[in-house]
Amino acid sequence: MAISYIDEIEVKGKRVFIRADFNVPLDSEGRITDDIRIKSTLPTINSILDRGGSVILTSHLGRPKGKVDKKYSLAPVAKRLSELLSKEVMFLEDCVGKLVEERARSLKPGDILLLENLRFHPEEEKNDEGFAKQLAGLADIYINDAFAVSHRAHASVEAITHFATQKGGGFLIKNEMSYFNRAMNKPEHPLIAIVGGAKVSGKLEVLENLIQKVDKLLIGGGMAFTFLKAKGIEVGKSLVEDELMDTAREVMKQAEERGVEVILPVDCIVADKVDANAKYKTTDVREIPADWMGLDIGEQTINLFKEALKDVKTIVWNGPMGVFEIEPFSKGTYEVINIVADSPALSIVGGGDTDVALHRSGKSDHISFISTAGGAFLELLKGSTLPGIRALEH
């Protein structure tokens, strides 16, 4: 099955409906604090404008629960888009209805219209066909450029494709799928996956799928302690999902059978509480005090991971190595960023927290590709097909 992308679609004189991801963070005054998601859709928008098309943009923002809530308005996005594009972006206070239809019909080549938050309507998250049909009727072509919501079967992502005369993906979707395929479906070996974050439960299927593909698996973050405890190591008050210890043993057993090396922390930074003012120290994972908890990987583990990442050809990373938001427990995550950034390997990083750490580190430009998604990236790592991607196939 194939997907048509925006550069393969004739847009001259056409109205193009783009499902974008403008779910940007706002401060208490309603100002955008990070516009990376807006910037990531600019290549698709500009491609359409440069080739004589007009653009209708839609997105969700936050979780307004199917009701109009002005704090989740996309009005600040319209303002920022106008600045980035150096041209007027018209904004309407709804995404369906007679006024929207009239304004959409009156668009001329080069015009841009941003519609209000899709999630002000409960039909969006219900994947309602009637709502989707109204959205599809606004334009000649439907383009999905919102990878971060493509794991959701929502009206503007999935149902709309049943009513669109022509459909395809934007450049952001094209890049996400292209890099992911290079890393996971046609990788250059050795391929190493680094998996961190707090819990095993959210990444169980990810781990089970990864050990079918990778040569080595490095596990850090809070989830490492479930694996360590599964190996009979006492880990004090560290985060452990006791109900998943058997599963952790099964993952390690399957990895061993496939010849995949699983590398766990050998030392960690422990503290008496999750706090910047906590007492903390470095200790061997076998010597964690009973009433302390592990909150980051230690120096020996960083060196162990560094050694494991030598001479690899492909690196996939999801999840931080510790509570990086708090200074004493941030070193592990930032050191692994340095190692991955300095590697000549193809490197793909995905997941909200990992992305945040990466942007803070100033090393973003040294990573081959940074996914814009958390949930959708994890779904792909599980081996799942995303509803929003499948819906674009023809």
Catalytic residues: 37, 199, 352, 375
DSSP state of 260: P
**Across the chain, which distance is largest between two alpha carbons, in Å?**
70
3-state secondary structure of 268: strand
Q: What is the distance between the alpha carbons of residues 385 and 177, in angstroms, rounded to a whole number? A: 11
Which residue intervals of the chain are DSSP H helices? Answer: 36-39, 42-50, 75-85, 98-105, 122-125, 129-136, 171-180, 204-210, 224-230, 245-258, 299-308, 331-342, 352-361, 375-382, 387-390
DSSP state of 180: H
User: How many residues comprise the chain?
Assistant: 394
Q: What is the distance between the alpha carbons of residues 97 and 103, in angstroms, rounded to a whole number? A: 10
The candidate with the shortest Cα–Cα distance to 350, out of 145, 185, 197, is 197
